[in-house]
Amino acid sequence: MRRRLIDSSTFVPAPNPLRLLLSGLLSAEGVLGALWVAEQVPSIATVAVAPLLVIVARAVAGALQLTSGWLLIARRLPAVAIARVAVLASVVVTTVGIGGRLTPTDMDPAFRWYAVAIYAAYAGGLLIGLRHLGRRDW
């Protein structure tokens, strides 16, 4: 592990670029998920049960993503495990919500599954990065 000298007696670990990237992506996705949920709040009274469950699940996944991003940057031990759960939950919510047409969106129906596949590839990259980070950086 790289260390940099602050003074003659204190060492602070140098920031890991992978950790910074993953925490930034997870935090940004959590905030964007919260904004999407806030956008859906006015229409909650008019939606059916299934879309309401997707909105609640997106809120939970977003909270997990924001929490795991914060824990990653703070170098806390449960961060990688929580981040994995958050990414998997987000993939499930995206697949059900967009792929199953349960969430309101302006996306052309012909492109919904392409969006789900792109998001799944992005999530796979996050999981690979988390696995690599979990093995070498703690």
**In a 3-state reduction of DSSP, which class is residue 44?**
helix
Query: What integer pLDDT is reported at residue 106 of this predicted model?
Result: 84
**In a 3-state reduction of DSSP, which class is residue 111?**
helix
Query: What integer pLDDT is reported at residue 10 of this predicted model?
Result: 59
Q: Which of 46, 57, 47 is nearest to 95 (CA)?
A: 57
Query: What integer pLDDT is reported at residue 24 of this predicted model?
Result: 96
Q: What is the pLDDT of residues 79-134, one digit of tens each?
A: 999 999 999 999 999 999 999 988 878 888 899 999 999 999 999 999 999 999 87
**In a 3-state reduction of DSSP, which class is residue 102?**
coil
Distances (CA, A) of 20 to 41, 121, 124: 32, 20, 18
Q: What is the pLDDT of residues 2-47, one digit of tens each?
A: 555 555 555 556 778 999 999 999 999 999 999 999 999 998 899 8
